[in-house]
Structure 1
Amino acid sequence: MSTPQESPQAAAPPGAPSGRPTSTLAWPLLIAITFLTTIGMTIVFPVLPFILREYVPEASLALWVGVLESVYALCAFIAAPFLGSFSDRFGRKPILVISVLGSAAGYLMFGIGGALWVLLVSRIIDGLTAGDLPVMFAYLADITPPEDRAKRYGLLGALGGIGTMVGPAIGAFLATISLSAPVFATAAIAALIGLLSAFLLPESLKQENRTTELKLAELHPFTVISAAFGRKELRALLIAFTLVSIPFAFFVNNVSVLALDAIQWGPTQVGLLLSGVGVVDIIIQGALLGPLVKRFGERGVVVAGMVGQLIGCLGLALVASLVPLSGLLASAALMFAAGQGGMQAALDGVMSSSVGADEQGWLAGGMSSLGSAVQMTAPLLAGWLYGISHGAPYWLSVGLIALAAFTLAQSTRRTAAADVAAIPA
């Protein structure tokens, strides 16, 4: 990474915030934008499989859900390092505006539809501009001291949980009007976020904390990922992040299809389930995360969250393979959500505190690329495994989450042992 530009004011030390924006609107607007973004993303969840049924055979529905997500993820994988590093060079605000307006255009095209290729092109557009969430997390790091980041990530996660509760409920209601209505609503919300960002959101990245140049060779997605894994302090965290991202991708892309096949739920029931997931997120990240981090530390919360995910995936595997009960499906999904919410917020805080102020966008872009790399393959893998056995994606998830928890626990022990060894006798 390039070094920050010299200025009369000293550059921020590693892990320090890059300076609070002068406007007092920064944090409230970031809250509002995160909330609206999550609503927009989740409004469409209950209806996507049902929209696709108009274009593909029922037998290949799960596979095509995976194909659309993989196309989106491939484009995001390519674009994320550029968007993250551009935000380090030119500021967070312009990249955020471009990203959300791209999402608005993509969802508008998806809502118009008419042919399968139109849906594919819409996902390409949305993927190439998928920088809104990484940039918002970099923005938060800019305006927040390291010791408060996990708490604020948790608060944004809780607000995202409210959005996850409200979004699917809105989507389920709008689906009674038409299947495309939730998609058009998402496009409208993205356009609103673009306007709020363009006219009201202050820039968070001070000039002296911006990179002075961009090297295209360093922006290749695999180069960014390789560089991130080359950081000793990030390696175990990124391995764990990768392993738990696969079950999360399975869950997000497959739970609606599982509900349709196993217990014959429709968009309304799926929307209500996902709203319940949002309620759990609110409780975990809004009320419990702070005390849990204080009691067990960020890494402890990450491991505990993985255990919750594992239990949830085990329940989903049983629903798909042996016990097709609606109560078990709901309980397992909520348990998975509880583990995911606590784990992700704490993990974001740990990673953010491991790099300097001028690398927050780089880290966010690298994590986004890594997540997109998983999203390129995991939905297709989920669709293929689901075709073999409905429970196969979730049985595999149990093993992956267990391995992630073991990896992080071993890393924590080694870190603690090294800290003890470094203490003078």
Structure 2
Amino acid sequence: MSNKHTTLRKPVLLTSLPLGVMSFLLPIYSKKLGMNAVEITGLFSILSLILIITRPIIGKFTDSFGRKPILIVSCILFAASYFIFSIATTSVLIYAARIFQGIATATMTISTYSIISDTTKENNFSKAFGRIHSYKSTGSLYGCIIASIILSFMTFTQGWKMLFLIFSILSIYSVIEVIKNIPESKKIVTVKCDINKNKSRNTMKLLIIVFMTCISSSILGPVFMIYMQDKFTNNILLLAYAFFPALISESLLSKRIGAFSDKCGYRYSMIFGILICAIISIITPSANSILILAILWILSTLGGVLYNVSEKNIYTDMIGESCVGVMYSIYSIVCDFGLMIGPLVGGILYDNVSHQAPFYLSGFFMVIVAILILILIKKDSICRVD
């Protein structure tokens, strides 16, 4: 079981390299190309739109053609996306690269989730999801390190081109890794795929919780960096360094957090994780130093990992072996709708109520989610001690 998951390490890690630096560098590079604020924010909105459009189709393809072919396509699309980013000199090319990235993200998510569902024992789902989470975080961390090195001796524009060319080449290498080392995991299921059967009442309750969680967690998306710049410093690099400890912690501890969730019950792990995030969101406006902010980021990140791996564990257990790809596409679409609504709410509050309001609303919303988990999600496991 472990070997089946470790084979995913290189493809997931290599295609995740730009994720950590994208939020910092993409707006800067886009602005250098002469794009206005609406065009730049549109780059982030179009990603969610592409995910919503493509995931139902990809889910069906994953169930029909298998996990491995879809994973190969994902790595190829990531390589194409990063190459277009490297040569992009117009807004049209930047948007084209973003569209390819959106399709690649959808195919990667559904294929890897489906592989985990196929190859993992029921009581180890959270550990497996934590492992994948760790691979992504490690990739993001390595990408930040590579970007820091390259941008230290090149101009920003030259560094951007070189950076994404490297990311593209490494994504091509990940295609080779998938072809050579990852077997097809799709099970031959004799029972006909019945989506309505899989969409049980409990599954729908969980999807409501997923939707609300994605809204609450994304409320801070468009305003968090603006708030930090207003309160602390305009030095983006300094804020990035404050974020590094959280990224390192996520990379090192995700697998262990997943194992903790498997042992101590994913229902209560969900509640504990979301409450940690709620508390951190509420007290963040009171932080008065970069050091305190870095500590809060670490705690919030680890709480988010605990919640996310536990949530995926419950969902995977609910959907069974039939229509895995389609059911994960439904899960992802629910997430994407939440991630579209949250930023709009946060931006409106930040501009029209107060700069602290998005933090307080996000925390309050998370507390409501914790209560709903306690009420609506009945299934749990008893904490087991080795």
* TM-score between both structures, scaled by the size of structure 2: 0.84
Matched, 1:305 2:286: no
Aligned length: 373
What does 1:250-269 align with in structure 2 at a 5 Å threshold?
A: 250-251=219-220, 254-269=223-238
Instruction: Choose from 191, 194, 197 the match for 2:178.
Output: 197
Matches of 1:85 and 1:131, distance apart in 2: 11
Matches of 1:234 and 1:263, distance apart in 2: 43
- C-alpha displacement at 1:410, in angstroms? 1.1
Partner SS, residue 8 of structure 2: helix
Partner SS, residue 322 of structure 2: helix
- C-alpha displacement at 1:153, in angstroms? 1.5
Whichever residue aligns with residue 174 of structure 2, its letter is I
Structure 1, gaps ≥5 residues long: 1-19, 219-223, 417-425
Whichever residue aligns with residue 52 of structure 2, its letter is F
Instruction: Choose from 53, 73, 76 the match for 1:101.
Output: 76
Whichever residue aligns with residue 123 of structure 2, its letter is E
Q: Deviations along 1:297-343, whole A, 9 cap, x unmatched? A: 11111111001111222234446xxx5x3234323322221111111
Matched, 1:209 2:185: no
Partner SS, residue 318 of structure 2: coil
1:41 — aligned with what? Answer: 19
Whichever residue aligns with residue 378 of structure 1, its letter is G
- C-alpha displacement at 1:415, in angstroms? 5.6
- C-alpha displacement at 1:204, in angstroms? 1.0
1:15 — aligned with what? Answer: none
- C-alpha displacement at 1:127, in angstroms? 1.8
More divergent stretch after superposition (83-92 vs 158-167)? 158-167
Whichever residue aligns with residue 304 of structure 1, its letter is F
What does 1:11-410 align with in structure 2 at a 5 Å threshold?
A: 26-55=4-33, 61=37, 66-129=41-104, 130-176=106-152, 177=154, 178=156, 180=160, 181-206=162-187, 208-209=188-189, 230-251=199-220, 254-295=223-264, 297-318=265-286, 323=288, 325-388=289-352, 389-410=354-375
Q: Is the 8 A contact 1:308 1:339 kept in 2?
A: yes
Tell me the C-alpha RMSD between the 2 structures: 3.0
Whichever residue aligns with residue 314 of structure 2, its letter is V
Whichever residue aligns with residue 75 of structure 1, its letter is I
Partner SS, residue 47 of structure 1: helix
Q: Deviations along 1:1-57, whole A, 9 cap, x unmatched? A: xxxxxxxxxxxxxxxxxxx8xxx9643211222232333422423322322332568
Matches of 2:101 and 2:206, distance apart in 1: 28
* TM-score between both structures, scaled by the size of structure 1: 0.77
Partner SS, residue 209 of structure 1: coil
Whichever residue aligns with residue 319 of structure 2, its letter is V
Q: Deviations along 1:251-281, whole A, 9 cap, x unmatched? A: 5555444444432344433433333222222
Whichever residue aligns with residue 266 of structure 2, its letter is E
Q: Deviations along 1:344-364, whole A, 9 cap, x unmatched? A: 011111110111212221222
- C-alpha displacement at 1:74, in angstroms? 0.5
Q: Deviations along 1:161-194, whole A, 9 cap, x unmatched? A: 3334333333333333335144434333332222
More divergent stretch after superposition (394-403 vs 41-50)? 41-50
Matches of 2:31 and 2:139, distance apart in 1: 26
Matches of 1:44 and 1:174, distance apart in 2: 15
Matches of 2:85 and 2:114, distance apart in 1: 29
Structure 2, gaps ≥5 residues long: 381-386
Matches of 1:49 and 1:393, distance apart in 2: 22
Question: Per the alignment, do residues 99 and 261 of structure 1 end up closer, same or farther by CA in structure 2, a change over 3 Å counting?
Answer: farther
Matches of 2:198 and 2:239, distance apart in 1: 37
Matches of 2:68 and 2:276, distance apart in 1: 36
